[in-house]
A and B are shown apart, each in its own frame.
Chain A
Amino acid sequence: MFIDYYIILSVALFCIGIVGVLTRRNAIIIFMCVELMLNAVNLLLVAFSKMHHLTPPKKELAAVAGTDGQIFVFFIMVVAAAEVSVGLAIIVMMYRNIHSVDVNFLNRLKH
């Protein structure tokens, strides 16, 4: 099945994202990795949505078949955009306060 390729691709993207989040210390790179993970999920959603509606259940539904998964994707993209703006603002504030974007310096929550 050709869906397998999409799954493998998005799993690969997701794993890259996780590994990036876990291993990198630069806040901006971690942020990018999070975006990567989100987009891996988006890709998967579009792929599954298309796969499950190759043949529409009814003739009248042919125009909208396979679009519900894609609506999710748009939703995620909007939320992600909002999140990016908040996240970048935090990173900017962080840089202003400690002159660094290294997350390992941010361990004051412990105390």
Chain B
Amino acid sequence: MSAERLRVAGAAVAATTDRGGRIAAVAIAFGWHFAVNVPGIAGGWGEYRVPWAAAAGWVLFVVVGVLATARLFYGFAVPVFPLLGVLLIVDVLVIAITPDDQIFNTLNWAWGTIGWFALLLLYDRGVGALVAVLVANAVFGLVGVVAASTEASGAADLSRFVMYIYGTGVLPIALVAAMGVLRETALSTAASEAARAALESERLGAAHAQQERQDRLGIVSEAAGALLHDLATGRADPADLDVQRACALAAAQLRRLIAESDDVPDPLLHELRACVDVAERQGVPVDLIAVGELPELDVAIRRRLAEPLAATLATARDWARVTVVAQPDEVVVSLTTPATAGPAKESHSWPMDGVVDYWYERDEELVWTQTRWRAA
């Protein structure tokens, strides 16, 4: 399994884990906005300098919150920073219309709520931007407090101000930080679990390939052994063409088993071996030689690489040679076999979708087919 696939698997698990955090953030923001701010605004309606502005601000917060929620859960593209601007403007507005003596009460609702709504907008953007909004909020608040406080209450107001800022700022930041840690943990846990599963399936694949090879070795050895026995006892004549053919076939099969060095069969080699097996069953000795490490290829590309060769291999009568040369950005598969009946000269060449090029050539001696994939 590739690193890329492991990463994707990890991300999927992390996204599921993260959903809980997003639901919590939305619930806290709207819960606070309805349960605390509505009574606050209603209770102090008569005291605001401009009451309808407080209500309008409250509605704007709801609009921003809904847009942010749509982005969080459905990926809606919303202008995050302009919306943060709206929140900050409402924040300043509410501070401005709140009577001086009510600055630390629920009438001045936006001050304590902005952190949660900013969190909705900045949920996946790290803690930095959120801190910046909270700092701006603190500065506006400080200006408001300084403007509103009287000489007698100055020191006490500043102390309350710090408490207030601390209380409203710490919680959103803590939630963001906690979700970040949770996301990281989920990601690495999922990735290591996927890696473990990949390793296990690789082990099973290798065991399977090993067993398959043992079985084939058993069959080939038996045939080769019988042949050698017949040759040794004189029952088979080395000059006999059929005996020579049987020897060539057994030798090719043994050679192919020796050459199979891949622990886990690559799908392309697997497909090619299946074609070669068919030809061998018809008595055609085939050499299959693979060089290099095959990159991961789509099924469609593998099919385009293997199929034209399979068709030609089916017509092979004497011997055949299949080679695979692999590099990270190029895979070339070729088949050569002696030309039998058919037109003396023939040559086709066409690019298949520009991804896998194919050519076929025959002359008096040789039929030669090549397919070649190049990374785009």
Q: Do A and B come from one complex?
A: no
